[in-house]
Amino acid sequence: MPFNLSSYLRDVPDFPKPGILFKDITPLLASPEALREAIKCMAALEWEEEIDRVVGIESRGFLFGVPLAMELELGFTPIRKLGKLPWRTKSVEYSLEYGSDTLEIHQDGVEAGGRVLLVDDLLATGGTMRAACELIEGIGGHVVGCVFLVELTALGGRRQLANRHLESLIEVD
């Protein structure tokens, strides 16, 4: 029987604000078997081009991006919130489903022409990943694809990333 990763998600109503049904991944993170399976599944995905670097989006993208980079024997670059990186950065402001934010990457986080796999835990409206793609391309990188643990299909995030190769391990309405 295949491993059921979705059984490790927990619904938390009205978080972070009323009307939001939050998909909590901490039960999956608490299970070594489920976490290992998620990383193995991400590593087994096929992309149209070779990947040079894994880039994860703060903060839960780090939880999957670092072990995925290790599994693929690649380096990892973090994309962080404004003011969290210690060196010269490039930034982009973006909208999300309940506000706005700014993301940053070190200017040398990806080599010119470097082929990047972007990782985050969740695809909702797509604004965060779209901003991350802009950051990668703004420093001369090339986004090969984007991978997510969970995709909230009802929020239509794929439309924001229509020209991107996207993969998600779990799809929920």
Beta-carbon-side half-sphere exposure of residue 162 (alpha carbons within 13 Å): 3
Q: Catalytic residues, which ones? A: 60, 97
Contact 169, 2 (CB under 8 A): no
Q: Give the torsion through C-alpha atoms of 91, 149, 143, 163, to 10 deg.
A: -100
